[in-house]
Chain A
């Protein structure tokens, strides 16, 4: 009995040893990639491509196909460089992305790159989970939208918008204030629970900006909570977590979400006539952020992924998904943007000044909202 056990153990050890050999060699080859803070560090983009192709794979996380056109982004990257993209856990949240980085450390499945909400990028940087890297187009990214060391950088964003099914909603809402009208009884929904979902939370913050008539609404989400209290008292608020299915079933004919995520609510049936409007009384914007994971399994592919995302091609792919890429202004100036996709973006009211809530504003709002939301 004992000897069998010993023999089995020996076999396991032998296998483990064999398994580490290729890993050890590939690590030696990409060591410089893991330390590279720009393409120049490995001898230029061509060299980076060569190293990434050798790695052959890239681990991504929390990238749903429908989200900002990621389905096509991944496909195009894969085709262009012959790199297999392992898209793990597409529906994960930002918090879960950081958890995955912490718990999968040193494993093959560890994510190489992240796409997270701003505060999670900052947290990841503080925890030392991220590797600094500056893409070739670094200077096009506004200073306020990136970490000076290159630990994270905003990627794409948009505005909180009202979407509605024109087949059900006969009077189109134009503003958050409109939604309080009794004609919208049992029609207004969020896409999730604002105490956990980032987009639902920022939707509430957007209504706060409208109710507080400007920045003071962003400073104090109480305005927004009062708004939702009223919406609930009116019977307008449907607390179902809206999905394409609930829209199709006619249960959530009006809902708030990022403008670039509204396309999915059209559904497949053709029975839904989905319209999107950026409300006139509050234009609240937000950007997600990209980051490379420190000591991830495919360091060169991770860096090439960022180069691809911030190239004109990558930025236009996001634009085609209805998101506003961070280099959009620069690309419009140099006339490199996809004109059709640009024209399809929901119009932002001309007079409106977009508000981008700061981290501090968000933290404060979150602390107020969490205990208050279940007792609306």
Chain B
């Protein structure tokens, strides 16, 4: 009895934190999203959020996030396999430390780093031009969808490496030995053991990466000035608008849509995590 109350008491701080910083804001957003500028009940905000340029924004945000997560999973997993299988301990430490730093680089500084390196007069751009490669020779710019994708990969791939290193190291040597003893080939082991064990984890990480990029805001805002429709940027411009006087409620409706999308992704993530836990125990 005593022990149980103690356990709940220990959850108090995080509980309070969740209520104050997650629960209450969500309730507030939901409430305002159903109000017009004068405070009366309306569904127009959602109608606006689901049409025209705002629908474009939601779709493009999902698109960018799906794509950047997919590329990051593939590239990051290859990286992580290479590092995990190498015998050099220093390399492993170096890569995971670096990945930790890069995965947490974001916001306006990240945008500026890319402007300074891959912008029209960026260092890298100028060097490449000197060896005869003009990245701005054609239609491409850093400020386009594909440019933004590259910038997102900068923090997404390291996050994938960071998450998948322990995942790969979780494949126990004993499993391999056991299956070899029972006469399986490497291919069989890969097919019947590694893939089934890793698949739910990789899928879960994919969803994590999706959410990570879906909510990214400052970098995109600094790079594109709203010239590419992305939900977080649209929400910000509606709220802080010097131009539109009645946009805050539409912003809230867009926020609710984002919460819903992330909630779906996260609930799949959690159910996958449960499956994974079975293998870890």
Contacts and interface: CB of A to CB of B under 8 A. Distances in A.
Interface of A: 93-96, 117, 119-120, 123, 186-187, 189-190, 192-201, 232, 235, 237-241, 245-246, 249-251, 366, 370-376
A240 to B, nearest CB: 6
Contact of A374 (B115, B119, B121, B226): B226
Interface of B: 52-53, 56-57, 111-112, 115-116, 119-122, 136, 139, 141, 143, 221-229, 233-234, 236-245, 248
B225 A190 contact: yes
B141 A196 contact: no
Contacts of A235: 136, 139, 141
Nearest 5 A-B pairs (CB), nearest first? A196-B237, A374-B229, A193-B226, A198-B242, A186-B120
A239 B143 contact: yes
Contacts of B236: 196
A198 B243 contact: yes
B243 A249 contact: no
A95 B227 contact: no
Contact of B242 (A93, A187, A370, A373): A93
B121 A95 contact: no
A205 to B, nearest CB: 10
B241 A239 contact: no
A187 B139 CA distance: 15
Given A119-B245, A251-B115, 7 more contacts: A95-B248, A120-B242, A240-B222, A249-B121, A374-B56, A374-B227, A374-B229
B206 to A, nearest CB: 27
30 contacts: A93-B241, A95-B239, A95-B248, A96-B240, A117-B242, A120-B245, A123-B245, A195-B237, A196-B226, A196-B237, A196-B241, A196-B244, A199-B242, A201-B243, A232-B227, A235-B139, A239-B223, A240-B143, A240-B222, A240-B223, A240-B225, A246-B115, A249-B112, A249-B115, A249-B121, A251-B115, A251-B119, A370-B53, A370-B243, A370-B244
Contacts of B112: 245-246, 249
A373 B226 contact: yes
B54 to A, nearest CB: 8
A374 B228 contact: yes
B225 A200 contact: yes
Nearest to A237: B227
A11 to B, nearest CB: 23
A236 to B, nearest CB: 11
Given A186-B141, A374-B229, A196 B115 contact: no
A201 B242 CA distance: 9
Max chain A C-beta neighbours (<10 A), residue from B223, B236, B238, B241: B241
Nearest to B116: A249
A238 B243 CA distance: 21
A180 to B, nearest CB: 17
B151 to A, nearest CB: 12
A289 to B, nearest CB: 13
B150 to A, nearest CB: 15
A372 B228 CA distance: 11
B243 A196 contact: yes
A270 to B, nearest CB: 18
A374 B57 contact: yes
B233 A193 contact: yes
Given A95-B242, A374-B227, A240 B53 contact: no
B244 A366 contact: yes
Given A93-B241, A96-B240, A370-B53, A249 B119 contact: yes
Contact of A195 (B120, B223, B241): B241
A117 B242 CA distance: 7
Nearest to A123: B245
Contacts of A94: 242
B254 to A, nearest CB: 13
Nearest to B240: A93
B228 A240 contact: no
Nearest to A241: B225
A344 B215 CA distance: 45
A227 to B, nearest CB: 14
A187 B141 CA distance: 12
Contact of A375 (B53, B139, B143): B53
Contacts of B248: 95
A372 B227 CA distance: 9
A374 B52 CA distance: 11
A229 B9 CA distance: 60
Contacts of B221: 193, 241
Contact of B229 (A201, A241, A246, A375): A375
Contacts of B224: 239-240
Given A238-B143, A251-B121, A371-B52, A192 B227 contact: no
Contacts of B237: 193, 195-196
Nearest to A94: B242
A375 B223 contact: no
Contacts of B244: 95, 195-196, 366, 370
Contact of B56 (A199, A200, A251, A375): A375
A196 B221 CA distance: 11
A246 B119 CA distance: 10
Given A193-B237, A196-B237, A239 B227 contact: yes
A196 B163 CA distance: 37
Nearest to B228: A374
A242 B52 CA distance: 28
A241 B229 CA distance: 15
B243 A197 contact: yes
A120 B241 CA distance: 11
